[in-house]
Amino acid sequence: MKKFRSFARGGIHPPGNKGYTSDKPIRNAPLPATAVVPFSQHIGAPSKPLVAPGDHVEEAQMIGEPAGFISASVHSPIPGVVKEITSIYLPSGMKTEAAVIELDGEFSRLGKTHEDRDWVSMENTEILEILKNHGVVGQGGATFPSHVKFSVPKGRTCEVFLVNAAECEPYLSADHRVMLENTEDIIEGIRIIRKLLSPKRVIIGIEANKPDAIEVLKAAGEPEGIEIMPLKVKYPQGAEKNLIEATIGREVPSGKLPIEVGVINANVGTLVSVCEALRDDKPVIERVVTISGGAIAHPANIRVRVGSSIRDLIEECGGLTEEPAKFISGGPMMGFTFSNLDSPVIKGTSGILALTDKEVKHFAPTACLSCGRCIESCPMGLSPTTIFKNIEHERLDEATAYGLDDCVLCGSCAYACPAHIPLVSAFKAARGRKRRLSVRNKG
């Protein structure tokens, strides 16, 4: 039996449950009659609104411009009229302004052919500006603005451009389908980033449970000098620091970014957006989302316009077969539980799950058993129970000293805990408290 690479410490093997959708080709969702487009769909400063109620907007028109160095532009996914600028809460709990756009007018791109743009002759600064103006952000979960990520800091060199094709979260298969159906777009995106970074190596790290995707990527990528690296099926193989360790054996120091070890990475969906921005002059107005879970009548992978309501997407998949025990935006390990089905899809929405009672653990937490399973499962080599106890006693400085900020919030510890202690929820809350205290102290 072939031995596949992986990260050294911890990790778990939750049920994959990808069979719901892994063989379902991507299909287009109906276009929304009303789009609710948040101005904060990325890490960093929300974009600055460029429209007001009553304005008519075209499809793909910029409606929010970057409001700082780490920020991203936002575009209208449909032609229409801005009905209002309102405040909404995203499934993550973040409050943001959003433009409510009512469909009106003709689509400028839909069903029409466009000439490929010659990006090869562009200067790197021009390419980065296009990524900025087209709102390209990371689609693997972090939503970091791509024009910032692909700007190599002065004095640094990118030795390895690492493509994250792991998709290790249970249920999710959107990236898998993108790899099969948009292979050439991914390769073109790699060519563009290779021009920007001039890396010595380009590696695609992909879990070995996607043999069909491995095959098509090898056929398309190996002639380009791209290394396709199958990895052991182990969660969280796709977490940035764990993927770096698994593929090239380097450990990112605490509190540092991957460029410290010569690596810049990107998700496969992000590379498709990079390709579309440079080749097709298309901003990020849609993405592929997995709609799955035991309560969904017909699970699917659908290409959906940003701003579409989650309720409409569930209806597009046949609705619910029973009342779900939990709705999750993203994957079950690192996603966000939510209840408002009128919430919109954003650039970082990888999946919408409606899970049944059988799929969700319902246990009341008990006292810590000091069994050590959380430590064994932690891929970062931390002691989650020690961090948790310090948080419980309001000792945030001590919790930080034990690695609170190094936690990748993967949920492995909570999954492994026989006492069902809400470890990750406590870590998220503590980090939020630290951010609020930091802002208050600066003010």
- State residue 443's pLDDT score: 58
Whether 180 shows a pLDDT value over 70: the answer reads: yes
Stated as kind and residue range, the H or E segment containing 36 is strand 34-38
- State residue 113's pLDDT score: 66
Rounded average pLDDT over 397-417: 95
- State residue 101's pLDDT score: 98
Residue 441 token pair: 């102290």
pLDDT in tens, 217-229: 999 999 999 999 9
Rounded average pLDDT over 364-377: 94
Rounded average pLDDT over 234-263: 95
Residue 23 token pair: 């063989």
Q: pLDDT category, 441, cuts 50, 70, 90? A: confident
CA pseudo-torsion sign 59, 177, 357, 425: negative
DSSP string, 187-232: HHHHHHHHHHH--SEEEEEEETT-HHHHHHHHHHHGGGTPEEEEE-
Q: pLDDT category, 112, cuts 50, 70, 90? A: low
Q: How many CA atoms lie within 13 A of 82 on its CB side?
A: 23
Rounded average pLDDT over 344-357: 97
- CA dihedral of residues 282, 313, 146, 263 (deg, nearest 10): -130
Rounded average pLDDT over 146-166: 94
Q: pLDDT category, 354, cuts 50, 70, 90? A: very high
37 in Cβ contact with 18 (< 8 Å): no
From residue 60, alpha-carbon distances to 12, 134, 177, 179, 189 in Å are 41, 9, 25, 25, 20
Question: How far is Cα 338 from Cα 355, in angstroms, rounded to an integer?
Answer: 12
Question: How far is Cα 87 from Cα 99, in angstroms, rounded to an integer?
Answer: 9
- pLDDT above 90 as % of the chain: 88
pLDDT in tens, 304-332: 999 999 999 999 999 999 999 999 999 99
Task: Say what the pTM is.
Answer: 0.94
From residue 74, alpha-carbon distances to 133, 148, 291 in Å are 9, 16, 24
- State residue 395's pLDDT score: 95
Task: Work out the end-to-end distance of the chain between its first and last CA atoms, rounded to an integer number of angstroms.
Answer: 59
Sketch out the chain's domains with CATH numbers: 124-280 (3.40.50.11540), 373-442 (no CATH)
97 in Cβ contact with 46 (< 8 Å): yes
Q: What is the mean pLDDT of the chain?
A: 94
208 in Cβ contact with 4 (< 8 Å): yes
- pLDDT above 70 as % of the chain: 98
- State residue 111's pLDDT score: 63
Query: 367: Cβ–Cβ under 8 A, 6 or more apart, which residues?
Result: 419
Classify the phi-psi angles of 34: left when phi > 0, otherwise alpha if psi is within -120 to 50, otherwise beta.
Answer: beta
- SS3 label, residue 12: strand
Rounded average pLDDT over 253-268: 94
- State residue 4's pLDDT score: 93
Whether 1 shows a pLDDT value over 60: the answer reads: no
CA pseudo-torsion sign 43, 317, 353, 10: negative
Query: Which is it for strands 62-65 and 80-89: parallel, antiparallel or unpaired?
Result: unpaired
Residue 186 token pair: 């991914």
Rounded average pLDDT over 403-410: 94
Q: pLDDT category, 110, cuts 50, 70, 90? A: low
Quick one: the chain helix, strand, coil %, rounded to 5? 30, 20, 50
335 in Cβ contact with 353 (< 8 Å): yes
Residue 379 token pair: 């891929």
Rounded average pLDDT over 65-86: 96
63 in Cβ contact with 75 (< 8 Å): yes
List own/partner pairs for 218-224 with CB under 8 A and 24 or more apart.
220/183, 220/184, 220/186, 220/187, 221/187, 221/190, 224/187, 224/190, 224/191
Query: Which is it for strands 74-75 and 80-89: parallel, antiparallel or unpaired?
Result: unpaired
